[in-house]
Amino acid sequence: MTLFRRPASPSFRAEEVSAASLTSRRTLLQMACACCVALAAPRALADAMTPEVERHLAAARQAAGSDLEALLVLGQSADPAFQAPTPDLEKLMALPAPPPGKAFDNLYFVGGKWVSAWALATSDGIILFDAMNNEDDAEHTIERGLKAVGLDPSKVKTIIVTHGHGDHYGGADYFTRKYGSRVVASALDWTMMETKLEFDHPLWGRPPKRDIAVTDGDKVRLGDTAVDIVITPGHTMGTISPIFDVRSGSQQHRVLLWGGTAFNFGHQPERLQAYVDATARTREVAKQQGVDVFISNHSFYDGSVEKLGAVAAGGANPFVLGASTVERALTVMNECAQATLASWKA
């Protein structure tokens, strides 16, 4: 697998990492990750930025405000001197899982500290978004978490694998073997999982066998629930970013789960351009559909672990960001990608 190396003495810019909400995620950011994580806390960018790069980074910072700072780590790669840090996957995978919890009446977090798994309860069973690293995670984090929140793991009918990296598919086989769950992925990522894995690790489970292939615009249905499949190429070329409804009492909200965040595919301008296009397009889709909740499959991007505690405590649901904040989140990712692309062209 590709390893990333960290500069010997990275300098941090205090104003970029000052949010108190990031503190508990600092460990994760410092350890970084191979597959899906954007690699260490923001650091000062080299002085030699072109005006175009600077303009995009300024736009990203402006969009991020103080509440979306976690996404600014993506902008680091616009610094030509930036070298992504060496991941410590074993350490990340060994982090104790946070307690599972309810984000909405029909959406539950059943993931780990590093990589998330979400369970969407329907009238005819459960749609699981991602299956974590391996069968051990599937059994001890996801299955145990489902039971803890009062859901029946044997009702996991569908697993939507957001993209073909092992930290998202590794536990899928556990559910297919034990409960006959069906596995959904994009056609492109099925092919990648069958032919040439972009990343692999001895601790990751093997890819599931090709099952249901979906493409952009498809709907995955279970009982009373439909999940819209939006393909957002970049992180992998077939990344799925699903959109679906959730309930909170009498309120209904619409969720976008961004399926692949980091630019960890090396110097591939056409792929980064695909990411730019995907974030811009999804921003329009989200606006049209009134998406007011934005979540991730890695909790340090969306603060989901911290937010679960606030939901349990009652009061306003911090997962409900509002449409304009969802738009800002997509703008941060888009501008960081544009900044990186501009630095590659410089």
> CB-wise, 235 or 283, nearer to Zn ion?
235
> CB-wise, 125 or 207, nearer to Zn ion?
207
Closest contact distance (angstroms) between CB of 150 and Zn ion is 30
Closest contact distance (angstroms) between CB of 262 and Zn ion is 7
> CB-wise, 222 or 272, nearer to Zn ion?
272
Question: Given the rule CB under 5 A, which residues bind Zn ion?
Answer: 35-36, 165
> CB-wise, 42 or 164, nearer to Zn ion?
164
Closest contact distance (angstroms) between CB of 279 and Zn ion is 16
CA-wise closest residue to 192 among 236, 147, 229: 236
> CB-wise, 35 or 183, nearer to Zn ion?
35
> CB-wise, 35 or 93, nearer to Zn ion?
35
Closest contact distance (angstroms) between CB of 244 and Zn ion is 21
Closest contact distance (angstroms) between CB of 299 and Zn ion is 14
Closest contact distance (angstroms) between CB of 35 and Zn ion is 4
Integer distance in angstroms from the first to the last C-alpha of the chain? 28
